[in-house]
Chain A
Amino acid sequence: MYRYDKFDHQITAERVAQFRDQVRRRLSGELMEDEFRILRLQNGLYMQIHAYMLRIAVPYGLLSAAQVRMFAHIARKYDRGYGHFTTRQNIQFNWLKLQDAPDILADLASVEMHANQTSGNCIRNITSDEFAGVARDEIVDPRPYAEILRQWSTFHPEFAYLPRKFKIAITGATEDRAAIAVHDIGMAVVKNAQGEIGFRVLVGGGLGRTPIIGSEICEFVPWQHAITYLESIVRIYNEYGRRDNMFKARIKILVKALGIEEFKRQVEADWQFTKDGPCTITVEELNRVAACFTAPAYEQLPENDAAVTAFKLDNRPFANWVQRNVKPHKVPGYAAVVLSLKKTGIAPGDATAEQMDAAAELAERFSFGELRVTHMQNLVLADVRQSDLIELWQAAKILGMATPNIGLLTDIICCPGGDFCSLANARSIPLAKAIAERFDNIDFQHDIGEIELNMSGCMNACGHHHVGHIGILGVDKDGEEWNQVSIGGAQGNTSSIGKVIGRAFTFAQIPEVVARLLQVYVRERFEGERFIDTVRRIGHEPFKEYVYATPVKEDEKLAGAEYALLEAGTPYDTPYYSPRF
């Protein structure tokens, strides 16, 4: 993985010192909240319902064991013993105090981490394929480019105060696992006919209030020009993106207003001034960064491990786990293993300090000391010998991280929702819990097969509900919490935006609604057909008809206290900063 050189360390240290002084000035009253707010956001610090939340950047999802141990330390020392992995491959801590934030950032800097630009109207953490470097369908490893762009975007003086947030994703494989079509800029590494490496660049995709699939602005930008080309895109956006209405301020609205052809014309007119200039990436710099991402010392192993094959025949739970949680690896005898953070009863993406320490240890024992965070909010050990799978499975089971549900119904993507987030209209975590409980039976889940259920507590769409095969969106009607259900969304190579099936449901109706959608699917599916493919083949109507045919009864159990919002009685230590005052 990328290692900081002395310059990276120095810039990070100077950032911590800058923010430490800004916090000091805030606490002394020298800085007003409206001046401080944007500064703290650009350091990843949000003011949520109960406390400050810190979103730490995990560049392109890659972590060392030492970094994960630092998360565990932060969880214990400053938080309540757990953290939350997000859909943008980051981690969030929910129960922090403002005055601790500079120390936390200093702790992070000691393991080459930061929270720079994880919020605010700037270029955010760049995300990538969680299987980068090990996927069989990889054309080029995207991580060196992601790192070069991370450095370019970090504290860029021209682009710190954009009209709105700006998200970039890069993939280097045939299958898009980074959801590039729903990012402000999506980049796919490609090789042209001459075998040269470049990027197919998409622009103007996004979720939120106005979900749009990105348009291709250029089919091939040679890799040397990645910085200058992106700089021109962001410059045109900074100049012309709307600033009068924050709901229309993302680049997708500008691209739509101008049309992709005109937008491209403006970008490329600007680019002529910088193309081939000093910001052109050099071979030396690419080689320096790429050298950090070389393959570990793989052993020569047989393609398949006989003991694993035999154990699978004997042991159904293990076979289920291998089927769902173990992914192919480009090196014979190795596999990538997903550690599920979606155990029923636990908030999707949450991990305790003990689990983090244990995951770090598993990474050291089985996977060259590295882990990845997926945008589906799970962890990955990317380089596991197949002969270690049985031992790893047993260890992960004890930790509650071996639920064989990756890609299945209970592998729910979910935002923090009304329990933590001051923007949310509805509870997300308790709803994920209710759905997971209802469909907990693993045989049922395996029968239903691949399906993505995504939920967001509001239309900012942190839970990517638009691209869920089933999407659930929390909406507010006269101060009451309701949930809109959509179907037909998808991420990846065949991205699509889901369509709402009809009027919204109460919290306690949702598990039954999901059950009815699945009943239609089971009734209509062809052998081996996924839920999303059935929806695409037969359309929305049969689903809609069946769901609304008879009144949907509320599940009475869901009125119980364990599904209620977290008590709001936890005051900020410094009350006057709280949004509740």
Chain B
Amino acid sequence: MATHMIIKNKAIVEDDWVVLRMDENDTPQSVVVPSGKVIVPLKVWQAQRDALQHRSDLGVWFASDERAEDMQNDVTKFSVIAVDFPKFADGRGYSIAYHLRARLGYRGQLRAIGDVLRDQMFYMQRIGFDAFATRPDKNIHEAIKGLSDFSLSYQASVDQPLPLFRRAHRGDRS
């Protein structure tokens, strides 16, 4: 299996997961899920659950119009869940990640796939993504710098359960 580079836990690493994308002739019922480490669309998981549920090398990915709640208790079955960003300006993936982490308690790897670019990665990291399959035409060594744009944030999020006003003594001018 060919490997490629992704960013995982703030480091650039080799990765051998394959993302299965259906083409227009495929249906969730009929598409063939290859062997090996594969991340399948949520719809495929739902359609082929009986055949797939004993595979340990399986991940699932969400399209931006799908809902984390649709998986409910299944989230604990996976060590990798991915969220697709069809365009980087489509912000639904952030709320999907929020639900997976904050409401469904998902603790495994949460990977951003699709139009994943440096300048959105700081927000993605805050909302619970810990792996980034950056767009292949971009330099991944440049992209990783996006994770450290800020050292501080006002609000609570998945990475930081307390808002600034509860975690710091505020009001000092210097």
A7 touches B123 (CB 8 A): no
Given the known A-B contacts A11-B152, A121-B89, are A39 and B171 also in contact in the complex, defined by CB atoms under 8 Å? no
> Beta-carbon contacts of A399-442 to B below 8 Å, as 1s and 0s?
00000000000000000000000000000000000000000000
Counting CB contacts under 8 A, is A35 at the interface? yes
Per-residue interface assignment for chain A, residues 8 to 35, with 1 indicating a CB less than 8 Å from any chain B CB and 0 otherwise: 0011001100100010000000110001
B163 CB contacts on chain A under 8 angstroms:
152, 227, 278-279
Inter-chain contact A22/B119, CB cutoff 8 Å: yes
A35 and B143 alpha carbons, distance in the complex (Å):
13
**Which residue in A158, A162, A227, A285 is a CB contact (below 8 Å) of B127?**
A158
Min CB–CB distance B104 → chain A (angstroms): 11
Task: Please state if B166 and A156 are interface contacts (CB–CB under 8 Å).
Answer: no
Stretch at the interface among A46-54, A69-77, A235-243: A235-243
Interface residues on A, range: 35 or more
Please report the C-alpha to C-alpha distance between residue A234 and residue B83 in the assembled complex, in whole angstroms: 20
Q: Are B123 and A160 in contact (CB under 8 A)?
A: yes
Instruction: Report the minimum CB–CB distance from A36 to chain B (whole Å).
Output: 9
Write the nearest CB–CB distance from A8 to chain B, whole angstroms. 9
Say yes or no for B172: interface residue by CB 8 A criterion. Answer: yes
B153: nearest chain-A partner, CB-CB: A155
Whole-angstrom CA separation of A121 from B90 in the bound complex: 10
Task: Say yes or no: A161-B90 contact (C-beta < 8 A), given A278-B162, A278-B166.
Answer: yes
Residue pair A238, B171 in contact (C-beta under 8 Å): no
Binary B-proximity of A135-170 (CB < 8 A = 1, otherwise 0): 000000000000000011011111111110000000
Q: State in angstroms the CA–CA spacing of A217 and B59 once bound together.
A: 40
Docked Cα-Cα span, A152 to B153, in Å, equals: 9
Question: What is the interface of chain B mostly: helix, strand, loop, or mixed?
Answer: loop
Which of B95, B155, B164 contacts A7, CB < 8 Å? B164
A226 to B122, CA, bound (A): 25
- With a 10 A CB-CB cut-off, give which of B90, B120, B155 has the most chain A CB atoms: B155
B51 contacts partner chain A, Cβ-Cβ < 8 Å: no
With contacts A14-B149, A121-B89, A158-B127 known, is A235 near B119, CB below 8 A?
no
**Identity of the chain A residue whose Cβ is nearest the Cβ of B158 in the assembled complex:** A157
Q: Does A323 contact B (CB under 8 A)?
A: no
> Taking A11-B152, A162-B91, A278-B162 as contacts, is the C-beta distance between A288 and B157 under 8 angstroms?
no
- B151 beta carbon closer than 8 Å to chain A: yes
Chain B: minimal CB distance from A40 (Å): 11
- At the interface, yes or no: B94 with Cβ under 8 Å from chain A? yes
Given contacts A278-B166, A285-B170, contact A38 B89 (CB under 8 A): yes
Which of B67, B95, B126, B162 has the most chain A CB within a 10 Å cutoff? B95
Question: What is the distance, in angstroms, from A557's C-beta to the closest C-beta of chain B?
Answer: 46
Shortest beta-carbon distance from B56 to chain A in Å: 31
Closest residue on chain B to residue A122 by CB atoms: B91
User: Which residues of chain B have C-beta atoms less than 8 A from A278's C-beta?
Assistant: 156, 161-163, 166
Q: Is the CB of B171 within 8 A of A288?
A: yes
A523 adjacent to chain B (CB < 8 Å): no
Give the residues in chain B near A121, CB-CB below 8 Å.
Answer: 89, 91
> Hey, which chain A residues are within 8 Å of B123, CB to CB?
155, 157-158, 160
Contacts of A151 in B (CB 8 A): 154-155, 164
- Taking a contact as CB atoms closer than 8 A, the residue among A6, A156, A239, A243 that contacts B155 in the complex is A156
A5 touches B95 (CB 8 A): no
* Contact residues in A for B91 (Cβ distance below 8 Å): 121, 158-163, 238
Check B168 for interface membership: any CB of A closer than 8 A.
yes
CA gap between A4 and B153 in the complex, in Å? 14
On chain B, which size bracket covers the interface?
35 or more
Q: Are A273 and B103 neighbours in the complex by a CB distance under 8 Å? A: yes
Residues of A within 8 A of B161 (CB): 278
Contacts of B127 in A (CB 8 A): 157-158
- For the complex, is A3 an interface residue (Cβ under 8 Å from B)? yes
* Chain A residues, CB < 8 A from B103: 273
**0/1 string, B64-98, CB within 8 A of A gives 1:** 00010000000000000000000011111011001
**A 267-286 to B, binary, CB cutoff 8 A, 1 in contact else 0:** 00000010000110110110
For A157, list chain B residues within 8 Å (CB): 94, 122-124, 126-127, 153, 155, 157
A78 CA to B153 CA, complexed, in Å: 31
Bound CA–CA A39/B89 (angstroms): 10
A16 to chain B, nearest CB (A): 11
Instruction: Indicate if the CB atoms of A152 and B119 lie closer than 8 Å.
Output: no
Find the B residue at minimum CB distance from A156. B155
Kindly state the separation between the CA atoms of A182 and B67 in the bound complex, as whole angstroms: 31
Chain A contacts of B124 at CB under 8 A? Answer: 157
Minimum distance in angstroms from A566 CB to a CB of chain B: 31
Q: How many Å lie between the Cα of A273 and that of B173 in the bound state?
A: 35
Tell me if B60 is interfacial: C-beta within 8 Å of chain A: no
A3 smallest CB distance to B (angstroms): 7
- Distance A22 CA – B119 CA, assembled complex (angstroms): 8
Measured in the bound complex, the distance between the Cα atoms of B115 and A161 in whole Å is 13
Name which residue of chain B comes closest to A36, CB basis: B119
Which of A5, A11, A22 touches B173 (beta carbons < 8 Å)? A5
A14 — which chain B residues lie within 8 A by C-beta? 149-152
Provide a sorted-by-A list of 22 A–B residue pairs whose CB atoms are within 8 angstroms.
A4-B173, A5-B170, A6-B173, A6-B174, A10-B152, A14-B149, A39-B119, A151-B154, A152-B155, A152-B163, A154-B154, A155-B123, A157-B153, A158-B127, A159-B94, A160-B91, A161-B88, A243-B90, A279-B163, A284-B165, A288-B170, A288-B171
B contact residues vs A (CB 8 Å cutoff)? 67, 88-92, 94-95, 98, 102-103, 117, 119-120, 122-124, 126-127, 142, 149-157, 161-166, 168, 170-174
Residues of A within 8 A of B (CB): 3-7, 10-11, 14-15, 18, 22, 30-31, 35, 38-39, 121, 151-152, 154-163, 227, 235, 238-239, 243, 273, 278-279, 281-282, 284-285, 288
Q: A14-B151, A155-B150 are in contact. List 11 more A-B contacts (CB 8 A).
A: A4-B173, A5-B173, A6-B173, A10-B152, A35-B117, A151-B164, A155-B153, A158-B94, A159-B94, A162-B91, A273-B102
